Amino acid sequence: MKVIPIKASAGITGFESPAAEYKQLELSLDELLVEHPGATWLGRAAGDSMQGVGIFDGDLLIIDRSLNVRNHDVVVANLNGEFVCKLLDMSRRLLLSANAEMPPVPVSGHDTFTLEGVVVRSVRCHRSSYLLTE
């Protein structure tokens, strides 16, 4: 896997150093990852049911409550008191895993069900952080 630094070209005038050809972009992870700060919350993935969409056990989920949910969005829902991260099949009222070994979960009128938001990003930490300890 290649790692490509984020750079912006800058015009060269005079005899500047060749290293000055590129300047590092100012990059705010808050601005990149969180579009609606007042409606965004974080969760942590647990389990392997969403690996097919690139969400792995322990990943940090960035969840936006302000978005209108679309069919087959990755959502966080509260189903009978338990938070779950699934693909939402609105027409069939199913919560789908992105792992073929996991069956769909039907949502019936007898269930307590609320959508808590759309998963807009996931972040994988490759070294533990004291900020993420329970």
Residues forming the active site: 49, 86
Find out whether 58 and 45 touch, Cβ atoms under 8 Å.
yes
Q: How far is CA 120 from the centre of its chain?
A: 4
Give residue for tokens 């073929």.
100
Transcribe 60-125 into DSSP letters: EEEEESSSPP-TT-EEEEEETTEEEEEEEETTTTEEE-SSTTS--EE--TTS-EEEEEEEEEEE--
Contact 51, 102 (CB under 8 A): no
- Strand, helix or coil at 38? helix
